Structure 1
């Protein structure tokens, strides 16, 4: 099955105070951690970022911006943009701000995938809709939502056939592994 990894690195990082993609853990930028976690299960890994940051990523990485039509419309636009530029059977998606994620966890997520429309992670009732696998057949549905001003991933998922997998089934310490870093003090 053709698989594209997607690192969502285009957020404004208002609460963080600086672009989270370039924050570091043990000297490694967050975007690199996500990129490496996806590289073991993906034919290609693509970073979706804001245009002003494209030159700051390491050379040789696939980095794109949102398609013009939905520029800056959030994670759903980033997912759609990768689908529009990189045809594949499925897309394994990660935000750039989960520095405790590893390839082992992503391997477990991929192993749980059963040709679902969307397989997403939840940890003890907290949903992580962009730690997920989206099937390519969802592209038109995402486009329709964006075209009609529906930018919320969770609202879009309410109308999709999503299967939630409990993070504790994928890894120990799921609460830590799947925690988004929203402020520098959380590390």
Structure 2
């Protein structure tokens, strides 16, 4: 298998129960949440992959303009949350670094990913580079190395599904988010959250 350097991964396989409809198709400004997530990581990615629910793949194929591989969770860990999504992406596309982004942070800035990737490339001793804001870790944003793969599988096998558990097991570098960057980290879980985003 040909190994690329950087793989961009959009995690969009959640059920969006609180939101009431699949978030990835939600429009904000001139694009869907899914498009915005792709746009955030595309500049730094040699290939793009999105982990989505099986039933949404066909609809998504007509919805996006980037060249992206649409996959769902591997059968063994279907529905096991974001950790299963990261594992499925790593199994599908071989790379050294994976830029992970959720699809419910429409304000997220591409520049943040550029900054985190630079740190990951310059400090290869770290298995993951992850943002932290006001003491809260954002494990679904950041850079994961392929060196996380065996622990991810082990955790999934043991039903330890928390991404934070993985980060504690690996050599993780936490990057403090600056006050002026907090704006990018607003995520949308409910229709009210969407209203609170205001206009783009």
- Shorter-chain TM range is over 0.9
Taking the TM superposition and a 5 Å limit, the aligned residue runs for 1:1-187 are: 2-59=5-62, 60-113=67-120, 114-115=123-124, 116-168=126-178, 173-186=180-193, 187=197
Once superposed, which parts of structure 1, at least 4 consecutive aligned residues long, lie more than 4 Å away?
A: none
Number of aligned pairs? 184
Structure 1 residue 86, shift from structure 2 partner = 0.6
Question: How many Å separate the matches in 2 of 1:96 and 1:167?
Answer: 19
**Is the 1:2–1:89 Cα contact (8 Å) retained in structure 2?**
yes
Structure 1 residue 158, shift from structure 2 partner = 2.1
Question: How many Å separate the matches in 1 of 2:85 and 2:45?
Answer: 17
Question: How many Å separate the matches in 2 of 1:105 and 1:91?
Answer: 14
**Is the 2:10–2:50 Cα contact (8 Å) retained in structure 1?**
yes
**Is the 2:129–2:172 Cα contact (8 Å) retained in structure 1?**
yes
Question: How many Å separate the matches in 2 of 1:173 and 1:30?
Answer: 22
Q: Give the TM-score of the pair, scaled to structure 1.
A: 0.93
Moved more, 77-86 or 97-106: 97-106
Q: CA RMSD in A?
A: 1.4
**Is the 1:34–1:95 Cα contact (8 Å) retained in structure 2?**
yes
Unaligned regions of 5+ residues in structure 2, if any? none
Structure 1 residue 19, shift from structure 2 partner = 1.1
**Is the 1:13–1:20 Cα contact (8 Å) retained in structure 2?**
yes
> Match of 1:13, SS?
coil
> Match of 1:97, SS?
coil
Q: Give the TM-score of the pair, scaled to structure 2.
A: 0.87
